[in-house]
């Protein structure tokens, strides 16, 4: 086995890992968790609005 065989095996392994990752990412089982993660930046808006109301009430 020479270096070219090792390169071929590593390329095949990495391509299989990439395809597996793509299948995992677009799996319907993961959709709910990814949708929740996509909405995380907007969750801070509710906290920010409550904080602003409390601060204006305290003044």
Query: Could you tell me the pLDDT band of residue 9, with boundaries at 50, 70 and 90?
Result: very high
What would the pLDDT profile of 18-51 be if each residue is shown by its tens digit? 999 999 989 888 888 888 888 888 877 666 676 6
Q: pTM above the 0.85 mark?
A: no
What's the longest Cα–Cα distance across the chain? 77
| Cα-based distances in Å from 28 to 1, 21, 32 | 41, 13, 8
Domain ranges of the chain: 3-58
């Amino acid at each position: 086995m020479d270096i070219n065989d090792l390169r071929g095996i590593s390329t095949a392994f990495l391509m299989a890992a990439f395809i597996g990752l793509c299948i995992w990412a677009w799996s319907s089982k993961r959709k709910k968790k990814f949708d929740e993660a996509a909405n995380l930046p907007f969750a801070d808006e509710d906290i920010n609005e409550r904080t602003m109301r409390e601060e204006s009430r305290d003044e």
